[in-house]
Copies of this chain bind each other. A is one copy, B any other.
Amino acid sequence: MAQELREQVETICRAAREASWTLASLPTATKDAWLLRTAERLEAARPTILEANERDIEESKAKGLAAPMVRRLSLEDGKWENMVDGLRQVAALRDPVGEITDSIVRPNGLRVGRMRIPLGVIAMIYESRPNVTVDAGALCVKAGNAVVLRGGSEAFHSNRALGAELRAAAADVGLPEDAVQTMPTTSRDAIDHLLKMDRYLNLIIPRGGSALVRKVMHESAIPVLAHDEGVCHVFLDASADAEMSAEIVRDSKIRQMAVCNALETLLCHRDAARRVLPTVFKRLQEDGVEIRGCPETCEIFPEGVPAREADWGEEFLDKILAVKVVDDLDAAVDHVQRFGSEHTDVIVTNDYAASQEWLRRVNSSTVGVNCSTAFSDGYRLGLGAEIGVSTSKLHAFGPMGLEGLTTRKFVVQGDGQLRE
């Protein structure tokens, strides 16, 4: 049985790899035709797919799955429209494949350039939301990659129904059907087998809880694009405007709290503390945010709870904000380096030198001046799409779009050149 499952997973991965060779050099027009055809097919199959989705929801409720998890399973409430519309948006994006950059002529006459190419085969491992099947499938294939989709067992019927349309649309437009693979089983062992398929897979993208991400990183020799925690900071510099500070802190903390770019620790320059913090805290109080402050913070804001050491660097994902008054920009940078997660860190300042020093010295994936941490997002930064936010510095760091799903090869043209 275990052997049989392993072979099933291997067959899927091998088929994806062979399809990736054809897919890699297909013209953009064929890939875009597939995206648009998929959108048409999904609309035509809407009743059947929503029926499968309903079945997943019923079964999950029967199994006692938590209500927020069940809600995330649903394709209703605008999610269907976003998913179908997303396909048309991806079709409109520029295809990164084939672009040649860094072209030079070497002294011996060799013409050298670097051509952007697909990665090959990408495995996506994700939970609940079945729309990821379509969203991620669309981005991977637009960048010329075959994709192996392994959604959660709770969304099995929805994912199978969506996957069938992705494959049927491929057959319709002459794109290799095997470029899109879904798992024919809900067995969790299939993930373990998938992690061993380094012969066929070029990249694994786990989308889900920290436990899943760590499992994939530790158990697989295949490169992983990890989306791990975000401990984001805002630093209010000596010259920070009080009103702008309050607005940016509020937007960074409150807009969405359970996301990786939400604010977790606020740092404030001592020279600004008494002038700026009261306005900031007043705004946060209206939203019921708990302040966990250093002694100086609690002096300014007696309603605050004294912060414990463990609060620095904590990803609360909740209505809690750690606040520390620091000596200067140096101390703020030092705190971010020691306790941050190199995700998103913003300074609020009107001091030019301070702004530039922050941008230069804080090496987080997104570093900002006078803006909300919530802009750390592929769409907001102009990538046109987002497959995820990488917390590893290799390959892609931060929000990742189509280009992150590609690599570059050296293209060398000669007239008989030899090394010797």
Contact surface of A with B, Cβ cutoff 8 Å: 21, 24-25, 98, 104, 106, 110, 112, 115, 117-120, 202-203, 214, 217-218, 221, 223, 241, 244, 247-248, 251, 255, 334, 337, 355, 359-361, 363-372, 374-376, 380-382, 392-395, 397-399, 407-420
Contact = CB atoms under 8 A, between A and B. Distances in A.
A257 to B, nearest CB: 13
B255 A369 contact: no
B410 A399 contact: yes
Copies of this chain: 2
Nearest to A336: B21
24 contacts: A21-B337, A24-B361, A110-B371, A110-B380, A117-B363, A119-B393, A202-B394, A203-B394, A214-B221, A223-B392, A367-B410, A368-B414, A369-B412, A369-B413, A370-B415, A370-B417, A374-B420, A375-B414, A375-B417, A375-B419, A394-B395, A394-B407, A397-B407, A399-B410
Contact of A368 (B394, B407, B413): B413
A218 to B, nearest CB: 5
A366 B25 CA distance: 16
A411 B223 contact: no
A411 B363 contact: no
B419 A366 contact: no
A412 B376 CA distance: 9
A255 B367 CA distance: 48
A211 to B, nearest CB: 14
Contact of A408 (B119, B247, B376, B397): B397
- Please name the 8 residue pairs, one residue from A and one from B, whose CB atoms are nearest each other, closest first: A371-B414, A374-B419, A251-B418, A368-B412, A395-B395, A223-B394, A217-B221, A366-B410
Nearest to A254: B420
Given A115-B359, A364-B409, A368-B411, 12 more contacts: A25-B361, A106-B382, A110-B375, A117-B363, A203-B394, A248-B418, A365-B410, A366-B409, A367-B409, A369-B412, A370-B414, A394-B407
A404 to B, nearest CB: 10
A120 B361 CA distance: 12
A344 to B, nearest CB: 9
Contacts of A118: 363
Contacts of A25: 360-361
Contacts of A409: 363-367, 397-398
A334 B375 CA distance: 45
A368 B106 CA distance: 14
Contacts of A223: 223, 392-394
B98 A255 contact: no
Nearest to A24: B363
A196 to B, nearest CB: 10
A394 B226 CA distance: 13
A69 to B, nearest CB: 26
Contacts of A355: 413
Nearest to A392: B223
A411 B371 CA distance: 11
A345 B122 CA distance: 24
Nearest to A216: B221
A109 to B, nearest CB: 10
A369 B21 contact: no
